[in-house]
Amino acid sequence: MPENVSVLQLLGPVVLALAAVLWVMGLVRLLRRNRPEATSWQADPMLPGLPHQRQTAPALEAVELTPAERDAFAGLVRRLGDARDGH
């Protein structure tokens, strides 16, 4: 034992190493305990962390256009069609 090093200074690294080993053992135990759950979600199509999804689509909505809006829309479609044809 070095003469200018106290017993507490020698025990410090030993205590830290022991704490690190215990922490790793606890982490491994925690991961092993949750392992069956990690594989069970692959077989289950519903994920428990996600909210329930609707099975049907929402109702379709329709808006009645005025004659002026219909004419404007038809003009827009013609312009887009002409641009696509290269005119």
- pTM (two decimals): 0.37
pLDDT one-digit tens code per residue, 28-54: 998 888 776 555 545 556 666 777 777
Higher pLDDT, 25 or 60: 25
pLDDT at 27: 93
CA 68 to CA 17: how far, in whole Å? 81
> DSSP letters along 5-69, please?
S-HHHHHHHHHHHHHHHHHHHHHHHHHHHTHHHHHHHHH-SS-TTSPPPPSSPPPP---PPPHHH
Cβ(58)–Cβ(64) below 8 Å: no
pLDDT at 42: 52
Higher pLDDT, 35 or 13: 13
Question: What average pLDDT score do residues 65-80 get?
Answer: 94
pLDDT at 41: 47
